[in-house]
């Protein structure tokens, strides 16, 4: 069978690609995709370790909860991005630098 | 090297290659559609980790829900974002990108070092699980067990997350509604 180390290496690479996107992109939607990649790397780890818990399904259920949490955060984050776009006419996080109303 | 391992390496390659494409692609729409591929390949990896229910959930929620949501947000935010993306094309290697690449590479080295040092296949609880036959095998049915566990052992987190999901959706609807008075 596939060893756990293989899964861990794949998820580490995925996490680092997500980190690269979060740091380097200047578009809020692409940063959100980077966060999703990092979340997916974590979920891959949970699922890989969940193989060794047949009775309680700890890893797989935690992965399901993480997927639902990711959906909730994405919905709220996209609503915030739309609001920011409506107010600033840009979604570049570097240009959104005012806390008060215009 | 059996078929499962070959499939694992193919899936891992597709996942990482499409993720790298998502990261370096200049056009946002193309990177969103490549993100589809990444998520599908990740679902394949979940199947190879013997978690078929999680794989189906991944496809239903991520591909059916989150990506469509991202596409909607992209379409609603108009041309401005496209123009901002076009401007990046001139400066292919900027200082920002080099710093990000450096950070990601350093982090990857740290993670890789940790993975190789921890020797995950021989952790005490994993050898214990193998000894007590608490391992999911390719022939065991996991979905029934997940349903039973969700309604007994994990009932409180299940209810809590349902309330949280409702709060998040109501909040998202409230945030994205048009304001009458600004």
Question: B87 falls in which pLDDT band (50, 70, 90)?
Answer: low
| A61-84 residue pLDDT tens | 999 999 999 999 999 998 888 888
Q: Is A28 helix (H, G, I), strand (E, B) or coil?
A: helix
| A5-34 residue pLDDT tens | 899 999 999 999 999 999 988 888 889 999
Angle at which helices B67-76 and A28-50 cross, to 10°: 180
Q: Please tell me which residue of chain A has the smallest CA distance to B166.
A: A72
Query: Between residues 150 and 179 of chain B, which touch chain A (CB distance below 8 Å)?
Result: 150, 153-154, 157, 161, 164-165, 168-169, 171-173, 175-176
- The answer to whether A19 faces chain B, any CB pair under 8 Å, is yes
**Three-state helix/strand/coil letters over B139-162:** CCCCHHHHHHHHHCCCHHHHHHHH
Contact residues, chain A, for B58 at CB < 8 Å:
43, 67
- The answer to whether A66 faces chain B, any CB pair under 8 Å, is no
Contact residues, chain B, for A14 at CB < 8 Å:
15-16, 19
Q: Are B130 and A27 an interchain contact pair (Cβ–Cβ within 8 Å)?
A: no
Question: What is the ipTM metric for this complex?
Answer: 0.89
Domains annotated for chain A, with CATH where assigned, are: 4-88 (1.10.287.3510)
The CA radius of gyration of chain B, in Å to the nearest whole number, is 21
Class of domain B1-90: mainly alpha
Question: B180 falls in which pLDDT band (50, 70, 90)?
Answer: low
A1, A40, A2: which is closest to A18 by C-alpha? Answer: A40
């Amino acid at each position: 069978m596939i060893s756990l180390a293989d899964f861990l290496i794949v998820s580490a690479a995925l996490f680092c690609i997500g980190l690269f996107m979060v740091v380097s992109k200047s578009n809020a939607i692409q940063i959100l995709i980077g966060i999703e990649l990092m979340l997916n790397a974590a979920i891959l780890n949970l699922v890989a370790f969940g193989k060794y818990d047949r009775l309680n399904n700890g890893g797989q259920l935690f992965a399901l909860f993480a997927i639902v949490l990711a959906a909730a955060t994405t919905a709220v984050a996209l609503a915030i991005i739309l609001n920011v776009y409506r107010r600033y006419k840009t979604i570049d996080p570097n240009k959104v630098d005012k806390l008060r109303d215009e | 090297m059996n078929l499962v391992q070959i499939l694992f390496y193919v899936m891992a390659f597709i996942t990482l290659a499409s993720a790298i494409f998502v990261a370096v692609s200049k056009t946002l729409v193309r990177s969103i559609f490549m993100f589809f591929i990444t998520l599908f390949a990740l679902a394949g990896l979940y199947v190879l980790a013997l978690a078929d229910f999680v794989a189906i959930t991944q496809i239903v929620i991520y591909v059916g829900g989150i990506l469509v949501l991202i596409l909607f947000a992209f379409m609603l935010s108009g041309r401005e974002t496209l123009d901002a993306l076009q401007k990046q094309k001139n400066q292919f290697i900027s200082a920002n990108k080099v710093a990000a690449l450096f950070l990601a590479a350093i982090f990857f080295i740290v993670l890789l070092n940790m993975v190789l040092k921890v020797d995950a296949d021989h952790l005490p609880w994993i050898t214990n699980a193998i000894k007590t036959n608490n391992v999911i095998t390719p022939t065991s049915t996991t979905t029934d067990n997940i349903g039973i566990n969700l309604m007994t052992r994990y009932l409180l987190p299940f209810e809590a997350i349902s309330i949280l999901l409702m709060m998040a959706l109501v909040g998202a609807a409230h945030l994205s509604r048009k304001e009458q008075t600004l």
